[in-house]
Amino acid sequence: MGRTDRAVLTGTVSDASGAAVAKAEVTVSSPGIGLTRRAATTAAGADTISGLPIGTYTASITAPGFARTDVEPFELQVGQTRTLAAKLAVTGVETKVEIRADAPLVQSSAAVGGVIAGEQIQNLPVNGRNWAGLMALVPGAIDSGVSDQKSVRFAGRATDDNNYRIDGVDATGIQNQGQRTSTRLQISTEAIAEFRATSALYTAETGGSAGGQVEVVSKTGSNAVHGSVFEFLRNNVSGVVPSFETSS
């Protein structure tokens, strides 16, 4: 199975007339984690860089006889295939062109679903800090109970049909030939970078069962020292005060 917790960057490189530029070098970098990947375009001007961790990236395209083109920072999300199309300008001197990576139009998949970003996981209210409750925000999801892994289903399928993975590893919890919701992955919201839930029309590399496909990606390190502290307190001060009855 492919690494569905990663992202893929594809694109085409052409000149001002629209003709394909072969053997152009495409460099993708993520300064936060110190990652740099390179690929050369084919005779059709196409390039693909797969297996990219989620995060913020920049890209540059160079080719002999053309001005260097830099792409402004853009985000790659879990399971995403993003397409960048670049046009190179002919130049005889050192020139640099900067372009903006606009919000991508999905051209490589018809899947129905969505990504819940880290900011949403940290800031949206969820009962008991259970990240699974946020799955109900994804198109095609149906919450039939208490907003957890036992009640959120996708596209009318049963909850036992859902498939869960963390960092590309199956975490559905199969026991005695049956999927057990009680043994499925329980993970702190503090440890999740983001997750993708796909309801329908997913590809074969994603589909491990007939229901929804949920891919959780954990937080990773970076070149900067960082950390976090959180406090979770829930009591009856702002809720319903328990009542007591006595009898004699």
At residue 123, the pLDDT reads 86
Helix (H/G/I), strand (E/B), else coil: 97:
strand
Q: What is the pLDDT of residue 37?
A: 96
> Which one of 20-29, 100-109, 156-165, 218-227 scores highest in mean pLDDT?
20-29
Domains along the sequence of the chain with CATH: 7-99 (2.60.40.1120), 112-218 (2.170.130.10)
User: Per the structure block, which two tokens stand in for 110?
Assistant: 């018809």
Percentage of residues in the chain having pLDDT higher than 70:
78
Mean pLDDT lowest among 8-12, 63-67, 106-110, 144-148? 106-110
154: pLDDT strictly greater than 50: yes
Res. 180: pLDDT tops 60: no
Q: Which of 32-46, 115-129, 193-207 has the highest mean pLDDT?
A: 32-46
Q: 70 pLDDT exceeds 80? A: yes
Residue 25 binned pLDDT confidence (cut-offs 50, 70, 90): very high
- Comparing CA positions, the residue from 226, 223, 227, 228 lying closest to residue 32 is 223
Average pLDDT over residues 9-35: 93
Buried b (16+ CB within 10 A) or exposed e, 191-219: ebbbbbbbbbebbeebbbeebbbbbbbee
pLDDT value at residue 209: 81
Q: Which residue has the higher pLDDT, 122 or 246?
A: 122
Of 128-137, 178-187, 235-244, the least confident: 235-244
- Output the pTM of the full model: 0.71
**CA dihedral for 182, 184, 188, 189, sign (positive or negative):** negative
Which one-letter DSSP state was computed for residue 133? G
Distance CA 9, CA 86 (A): 13
Average pLDDT over residues 114-141: 88
Query: Looking at residue 234, what is its pLDDT?
Result: 66
Helix ranges (H only) for the chain are 118-123
